[in-house]
């Protein structure tokens, strides 16, 4: 078996294998390889790494892994059974489906046997170690925890102790594993050792983390001190941990919210008009159009109608990958601790931000009277609304007055009022997209001597590049649009780029057929799918249009690829 030395191609291979059969963005790969010291030639250097890796595969006769070039990044396709990580997750899924504890334990043990030493040992990437390694460790610990639960329930405390001693010493702050270890010691007649272990975890939590042991550990200590019998051990409910490492960034409140008054009032009415059943509102629209801001603002407006609380979570991770429903449910349960609950039919309002598809969010919807949910995303989720009821509102750009009001709220009345005409020109240059307006507002705030008119001229020279804040990668119009493109099916992404790069201000199915080289019927279906993902707007008489910012992005992306993209892209 060949072991690759620490190198940039090794980092690239690790980043791809962590997401097999999935498109991994070039931005993620570059950050994995170079971190914060990305060279100017990173794009070409990444391509060179891919070529070196392909040659390495050929050298060692590896035919079961193929690195594909797709719009927005690369994807590695591996044969079934050739990657331990995939096999581990398959066994974990099989274990969850088992009803017999013995069969479940057998699958979990087989999964744990695939781990040989620490993950990523020869991968010199701080980015992957910070972002990916914690998730891999958590996946393994979840399986260890479940396997020990079953062993304790089956009365095999001695066998559980072997695994628990190792796991606890490697992860001293993991309270559930500590609790299992103390329980196993007590059940095997080692009361003194169990109390000593409790004192050790109590010291560690206080000295290292500044917290006290949780309720489960405290209850267990009290039972041991009293000498109470613990009764038959019961396996705790399964804790399904998704394969990805780190939850997405928390949903933050938005300052200087302006405009959308009528829309906000209509959403509040939809959420509160009929309290006999749960209410669902879907906010859809293009990236940067202000879906999250409106959802959070509306949730605040409606808070008095939901006495059991408001809970906002992101449905995607920092790199744009979707989070599993089980993970989000666990986060919501943690957020609702001490309250009446977030999803159990109580009078709570959920904001599920950046939903990627209906199946992802279906298990999270409120089920009882008085509950409500606001879902944001690029998709209209018509199928979900048809099945569960609700209302869909598609956001458009701000009006000129709303856009000017937003910039005025950011810049202040004096500075905005000194150049009213330039302010209107600036809103037009930003396409009246809230994200773009906030970016230029922040730039003006950090440059007090720059006039609004100067900012307009500067922005018009290269709007896409300049609609970004260098110190915050989240505040970037091209990044937001690029992430949206990476989520698309490659053929749909190609169609978006072709339509956007064309000189046609409006397009029909017949026009798209000529651009894409396919018959009008499937071309019309592609246009409809682009409308569904909020990258195209439908107009009367069977025509469609693309917003100027999206069109500029498509033209720039096509230009970077050396012309209109082919429907199948491989290098």
Contact 369, 345 (CB under 8 A): yes
Q: What proportion of the chain, given as a percentage, has pLDDT over 90?
A: 9
Point out the least confidently predicted range of 58-62, 143-147, 232-236.
232-236
Mean pLDDT of 357-381: 87
User: What confidence tier does 146 reach under pLDDT thresholds 50, 70, 90?
Assistant: very high
| Coil, helix or strand at residue 343 | coil
- Concatenating the DSSP letter of every residue in 32-93 gives HHHTT---TTHHHHHHHHHHHHHHHHHHTT--SEEEEEETTEEEEEE-TTS-HHHHHHHHHH
pLDDT of residue 238: 52
What's the pLDDT score for residue 256?
58
Q: What are the b/e assignments for 46-63, b being 16+ CB within 10 Å?
A: beebbeebbebbeeeeee
Tell me which of 179-188, 236-245, 301-310, 457-466 is least confident. Answer: 236-245
Confidence check: pLDDT of 162 > 90: no
CA distances 346 to 25, 188, 278, 305, 466, Å, are 40, 42, 10, 12, 46
Q: Is the pLDDT of residue 223 over 70?
A: yes
> In 3D, which of 296, 150, 335 has the Cα closest to residue 236?
150
pLDDT at 374 over 90: yes
Q: Would you give the end-to-end CA distance of the chain in angstroms?
A: 28
Confidence grade of residue 6 (pLDDT, cut at 50, 70, 90): confident
Q: What is the pLDDT of residue 482?
A: 85
**pLDDT surpassing 50 at residue 155:** yes
Is pLDDT above 80 for 394? yes
pLDDT at 3: 61
pLDDT at position 344 is: 57
Helix (H) or strand (E) holding 24, with range, is strand 24-25
Alpha carbon distance 212, 517 (integer Å):
66
Q: From 509, 513, 508, 498, select the one nearest 555 (Cα to Cα).
A: 498
Closest CA to 531 of 547, 511, 555: 547
Please give the residue that has the higher pLDDT: either 364 or 567. 364
Residue 112 has pLDDT above 50, yes or no: yes
Residue 426: predicted pLDDT:
92
Give yes or no for residue 244 having a pLDDT over 60.
Answer: no
Nearest alpha carbon to residue 433 among 387, 465, 467: 467
Alpha helices in 115-156 (DSSP H): 126-131, 133-153
The helix-helix angle for 548-560 and 477-487 (nearest 10°) equals 70
Question: How far apart, in whole angstroms, are the C-alpha atoms of residue 515 and residue 501?
Answer: 10
Where do runs of H (alpha helix) occur along 98-132?
A: 101-112, 126-131
For the ranges 319-333, 351-365, 552-566, the lowest mean pLDDT is seen at 552-566
pLDDT digits (tens, 9 = 90+) for 292-340: 889 988 888 888 888 877 888 889 887 778 888 888 888 887 776 544 4
Asked if pLDDT for residue 404 goes beyond 50, the answer is yes
Does 58 or 3 have the greater pLDDT score?
A: 58
Is there a contact between 177 and 163 (Cβ–Cβ < 8 Å)? Answer: no
d(CA 546, CA 507) in angstroms, rounded, equals 9
Q: What is the pLDDT of residues 513-535, one digit of tens each?
A: 888 889 999 989 999 989 888 88
What is the average pLDDT across 258-264? 84
More confident residue, 235 or 438: 438
Confidence at residue 472, expressed as pLDDT on a 0 to 100 scale = 67
Q: What is the mean pLDDT of the chain?
A: 82
CB neighbours of residue 89 within 10 Å? 16
Checking if the pLDDT of 233 tops 90, the result is no
Beta bridge partners of 545: 537
DSSP 388-450: H--EEEE--PPPHHHHHHHHHHHH-HHHHHT-HHHHHHHHHHTTT-HHHHHHHHHHHHH-TT-
pLDDT of residue 54 exceeding 90, the answer is no
**Distances in whole angstroms, Cα of residue 181 to Cα of each of 172, 212, 217:** 11, 18, 11
Widest pairwise Cα distance in the chain = 82
Q: 């309270």: which residue's tokens?
A: 175
Strand, coil or helix: what is 472?
strand
């Amino acid at each position: 078996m060949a072991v690759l030395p620490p190198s940039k191609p090794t980092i690239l291979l690790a980043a791809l294998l962590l997401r097999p059969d999935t498109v991994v963005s070039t931005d993620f790969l570059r950050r994995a390889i170079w971190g914060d010291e990305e060279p100017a030639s990173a794009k070409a250097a990444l391509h060179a790494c891919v070529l070196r890796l392909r040659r390495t595969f050929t050298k060692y006769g590896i035919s079961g892994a193929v690195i594909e070039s797709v719009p927005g990044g690369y994807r590695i396709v591996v044969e079934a059974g050739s990657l331990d990580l995939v096999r581990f997750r398959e066994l974990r899924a099989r274990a969850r489906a088992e009803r017999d504890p013995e069969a479940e334990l057998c699958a979990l043990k087989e999964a744990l046997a695939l781990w040989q030493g620490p993950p990523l040992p020869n991968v010199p990437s701080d980015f992957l170690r910070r972002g990916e390694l914690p998730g891999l460790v958590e996946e393994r610990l979840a399986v260890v925890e479940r396997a020990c639960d079953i062993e304790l329930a089956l009365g095999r405390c001695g066998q559980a102790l072997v695994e628990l001693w190792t796991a606890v010493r490697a992860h001293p702050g993991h309270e559930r594993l500590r609790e299992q270890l103390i329980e196993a010691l007590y059940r095997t007649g080692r009361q003194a050792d169990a109390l000593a272990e409790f004192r050790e975890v109590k010291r560690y939590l206080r000295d290292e983390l500044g917290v006290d042991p949780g309720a489960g550990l405290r209850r267990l200590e009290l039972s041991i001190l009293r000498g109470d019998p613990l009764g038959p051990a019961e396996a705790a409910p399964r804790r399904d941990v998704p394969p990805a490492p780190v939850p997405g960034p928390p949903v933050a409140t938005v300052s200087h919210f302006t405009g959308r008054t009528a829309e906000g009032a209509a959403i509040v009415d939809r959420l509160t008009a009929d309290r006999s059943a749960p209410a669902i509102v879907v906010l859809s629209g293009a990236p940067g159009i202000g879906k999250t801001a409106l959802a959070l603002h509306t949730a605040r407006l409606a808070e008095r109608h939901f006495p059991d609380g408001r809970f906002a979570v992101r449905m995607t991770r920092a790199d744009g990958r979707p989070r599993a429903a089980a993970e989000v449910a666990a986060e919501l349960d943690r957020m609702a601790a001490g309250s009446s609950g977030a999803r159990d039919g109580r009078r709570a309002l959920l904001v599920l931000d950046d939903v990627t598809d209906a199946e992802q969010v279906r298990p999270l919807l409120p089920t009882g009277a008085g509950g409500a949910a606001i879902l944001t995303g690029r998709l209209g989720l018509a199928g979900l609304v048809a099945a569960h009821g609700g209302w869909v509102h598609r956001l458009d750009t701000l009006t000129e007055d709303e856009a000017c009001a937003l910039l005025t709220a950011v810049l202040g009345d004096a500075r905005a009022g000194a150049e009213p005409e330039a302010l209107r020109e600036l809103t037009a240059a930003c396409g009246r997209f809230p994200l773009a307006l906030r970016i230029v507002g922040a730039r003006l705030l950090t440059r007090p001597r720059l006039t609004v008119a100067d900012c307009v001229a500067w922005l018009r020279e290269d709007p896409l590049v300049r609609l970004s804040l260098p110190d915050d990668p989240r505040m970037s119009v091209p990044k937001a649009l690029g992430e949206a493109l990476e989520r698309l099916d490659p053929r749909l992404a190609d169609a978006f780029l072709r339509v956007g790069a064309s000189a046609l201000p409006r397009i029909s199915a017949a026009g798209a057929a000529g651009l894409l080289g396919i018959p009008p019927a499937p071309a019309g279906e592609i246009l409809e799918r682009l409308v569904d993902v909020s990258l195209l707007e439908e107009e009367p008489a069977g025509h469609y249009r693309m917003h100027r910012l999206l069109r500029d992005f498509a033209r720039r992306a096509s230009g970077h690829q050396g012309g209109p993209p082919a429907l199948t892209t491989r290098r």
